[in-house]
Amino acid sequence: MKVFERIVDLKNELFQLRKQGKTIGLVPTMGALHDGHASLIRRSVQENDATVVSVFLNPTQFNDKNDLERYPRTLEADCKLAETCGADYVFAPSVSEIYPTPDTRHFEFPPQSTVMEGAKRPGHFNGVCQVVSRLFYITRPNRAYFGEKDFQQLAIIRLMTKRYHPSVEIVACPIVREESGLAMSSRNVLLSDSQRKVASHIYAVLAEGRQFVPNTPVAELKECTIAAIEQKPELKVEYFEIVDGNTLQNIEKWDDASYVVGCITVYCGKVRLIDNI
Ligand code: PAF
């Protein structure tokens, strides 16, 4: 496996592959790789001739400086995991390599981009689209792999790709969970052992709640879910929305949409965890 820091080196390498008719899979990450990322990398390795894993902590998608500073950085371990999973390249550029000048492009995909994470983290999806679009221009992948844990991000990336990079196929991969049910996330390493245990309560409640669909009204299930999660004093729900999985707008009745998703964000101490069902 080769590690590149410079765009020009990666581009030269991929140019040669494309000339030979080889397909390229891209797995964009911000590092601190875990088994969830491993599943994306393995899937890309299966489906493409070459796999590029990008490791770039993208500053433009953080609206909270402390969050960016706290984010775990583990490049050496990331390279090892990428290699074990069969990746061909890790692309680990500096901020100035990706943004030699500020990215002034503005991405908005209402109504999907304005609710939930879009409302709570202004500018976040704009930053995500900026970096993913740049990575697509650099690597020109046939396929790009994203986890369903970030359900809204996946929806926005699909919209951005359809408009600006229509030749890239977006591949959505299922959420990988720890044995306890906690959705795998780079942020989980920020949890203490006891917080990690408590955080598994989030998915336990979501999974239990699903059994009450469609016999409990949407609003009641929402209220009960939040109350059940907050029974643990360490957990504070930022939002729990039950949405149409395509428009991401709240539903009022179960038959308002044929594809319904419950999206949640919970603070466990200072750590912000997201999940969906
Ligand atoms: O999901 C992530 O890790 C990031 O938002 C992404 C897609 C790699 C863009 O920085």
pLDDT of residue 161: 98
Instruction: Clarify whether 165 is annotated catalytic.
Output: no
Closest by Cα among 74, 273, 95 to 191 = 273
Position in ligand 1 atom list of the atom nearest CA 57: 10
Residue-wise pLDDT for 30-57, tens only, equals 999 999 999 999 999 999 999 999 999 9
Q: What is the mean pLDDT of residues 6-23?
A: 98
Ligand 1 pocket, residue 147 CB under 6 Å = no
Please tell me which residue in 34, 37, 124, 201 is annotated as part of the active site.
37
Provide the 10 A C-beta neighbour count for residue 76.
8
Ligand 1 pocket, residue 29 CB under 6 Å = yes
Nearest residue (CA) to ligand 1, atom 6: 29
Probe residue for ligand 1, chosen from 61, 128, 154, 184 as the CB with the greatest number of ligand atoms within 8 Å: 128
Is the Cα dihedral 74, 119, 272, 64 positive or negative?
positive
User: If pLDDT is split at 50, 70 and 90, which confidence band does 19 have?
Assistant: very high
Residue-wise pLDDT for 132-141, tens only, equals 999 999 999 9
In the chain, % of residues over pLDDT 90: 99
| Measured CA distances, 72 to 133, 217, 244 (Å) | 24, 40, 33
218: CA distance to ligand 1 center in Å?
A: 31
Alpha-carbon gap, residue 170 to 43, rounded angstroms: 12
Nearest residue (CA) to ligand 1, atom 2: 29
Q: Which residues of 124-134 are buried (b: 16+ CB within 10 A; e: fewer)?
A: bbbbbbbbbbb
User: If pLDDT is split at 50, 70 and 90, which confidence band does 28 have?
Assistant: very high
Position in ligand 1 atom list of the atom nearest CA 128: 9
Q: What is the mean pLDDT of the chain?
A: 98
